Amino acid sequence: MEKNLLNQYGPWAMIAGGSEGIGFSYAKLLAAAGINLILLARREGPLQTAKQKLLDQYDVKIDIHCIDLTTPLLDQLLDDMISEREIGLFIYNAGAAQGTEIFHDAPVASALRLVDLNCRGPLVFCHKLGGLMRERGKGGIILMSSLAGLTGAGYVAAYSATKAFDIALAEGLWSELKPYGVDVLSLIAGFTDTPAMEASGTAFDRDGPNPPMHPDEVADEGLAQLGKTPVWVVGKTNREFTPFLRSQDRVQTIDLMTAGAAAMNNDPFPIEPT
Ligand SMILES: NC(=O)c1ccc[n+]([C@@H]2O[C@H](COP(=O)([O-])OP(=O)(O)OC[C@H]3O[C@@H](n4cnc5c(N)ncnc54)[C@H](OP(=O)(O)O)[C@@H]3O)[C@@H](O)[C@H]2O)c1
């Protein structure tokens, strides 16, 4: 990677959802660049494993915190986690849906959990950490989003809506923070081979014509694009698909994405009334 990540985004990076999948891939790249890490996730086991793997390979400091990003106490917990550390890079990675669901067949709490995770969480973190970066006149923020954030679709209605929120938030903050030397990027991922995706029950075909991306590729492209553009769709195949997702023919787009979401969990399509 040609840019000097440590100079631009050190000495500390915080990754919300940094123990596994794309978040851990970011952690490896940043540790390799000499950046100290604060990794957040709910489960202690994967956090400890991630920390040990990084310490075995890289000469950096690693803090870990077990935290559910949907907690209403996020604001005050964040103050304690930052403490005196200068966080030059913040990545909000956590945010995958736990499989598909029909909006009205699930309790409203399920959709509200996604709002807390993908809307409230990024807002709280960006307000605090982005504000400190603005004062310092340098820094970087990456908000993970999804192709699902470019169009609404059945089976993932609430998830798509929260991921659209993340894109819009990043675009707005890119504009506001750019004059202060702070880079903001909305990174739009497509199907990626992560433990969370596997646990969601999604049908995987790693050997098929459209295999999921490797999380290391996603993180590498994300860090390379930070500072170059407000929004980036990772992966050539995903980028080729993007104009269709933004097309004016909304019925065709929504139907195709709904069929895709249904197929991922072997759900019926067209949607069958229960
Ligand atoms: N995988 C894909 O195919 C795909 C496609 C498009 C977009 N994306 C986006 O890429 C990002 C990463 O996705 P992913 O597949 O790697 O799964 P993910 O579940 O979003 O992220 C995994 C990491 O986040 C932590 N995490 C999840 N929920 C959390 C919570 N409520 N509080 C604290 N930590 C939490 C996990 O640890 P714990 O479980 O221990 O908390 C783990 O460290 C997401 O924003 C997702 O929307 C993924």
Residue-wise pLDDT for 65-90, tens only, equals 999 999 999 999 999 999 999 999 99
Does the CB atom of residue 156 touch ligand 1 within 6 A? no
Lowest mean pLDDT among 1-10, 17-26, 44-53, 181-190: 1-10
Ligand 1 atom with the smallest distance to the CA of 212 is: 3
- The residue whose CA is least distant from atom 39 of ligand 1 is 42
More confident residue, 1 or 232: 232
- Give distance in angstroms: CA of 99 to centre of ligand 1: 12
> Quick one: 204 exposed, middle or buried, by C-beta within 10 A (0-12, 13-18, 19+)?
middle
Pocket test for ligand 1, best of 15, 22, 49 (most atoms within 8 A of CB): 22
Residue 203 has pLDDT above 80, yes or no: no
- Give distance in angstroms: CA of 92 to centre of ligand 1: 9
Q: Which residue has the tokens 């340098």?
A: 138
DSSP the chain: --S-HHHHH-SEEEEET-SSHHHHHHHHHHHHTT-EEEEEES-HHHHHHHHHHHHHH----EEEEE--TT-TTHHHHHHHHHTT--EEEEEE-----SS---GGGS-HHHHHHHHIIIIIHHHHHHHHHHHHHHHHT-EEEEEEEEGGGGS--TT-HHHHHHHHHHHHHHHHHHHHHGGGTEEEEEEEE-SB--HHHHHTTPPP-TTSSSPPBPHHHHHHHHHHHTTT-SEEE-SHHHHHHHHHHT-S-HHHHHHHHHHHHHHHTT--SSPPP-
Query: Could you tell me if 227 and 8 are in contact, meaning their C-beta atoms sit under 8 angstroms apart?
Result: yes
- Give distance in angstroms: CA of 52 to centre of ligand 1: 20
Does the CB atom of residue 65 touch ligand 1 within 6 A? no
pLDDT attached to residue 265: 79
What Å distances lie between residue 270 and 101, 155, 200, 255, CA to CA?
Answer: 14, 11, 21, 9
Does the CB atom of residue 222 touch ligand 1 within 6 A? no
Pocket test for ligand 1, best of 15, 28, 42 (most atoms within 8 A of CB): 42
pLDDT attached to residue 1: 46
Q: Two tokens at 94?
A: 């956590």
Chain segment 22-72, per-residue pLDDT in tens: 999 999 999 999 999 999 999 999 999 999 999 999 999 999 999 999 999
> What domains can be seen in the chain, in order of their start residue?
5-264 (3.40.50.720)
- The residue whose CA is least distant from atom 13 of ligand 1 is 96
What Å distances lie between residue 25 and 29, 122, 222, 233, 252, CA to CA?
Answer: 6, 20, 11, 17, 35
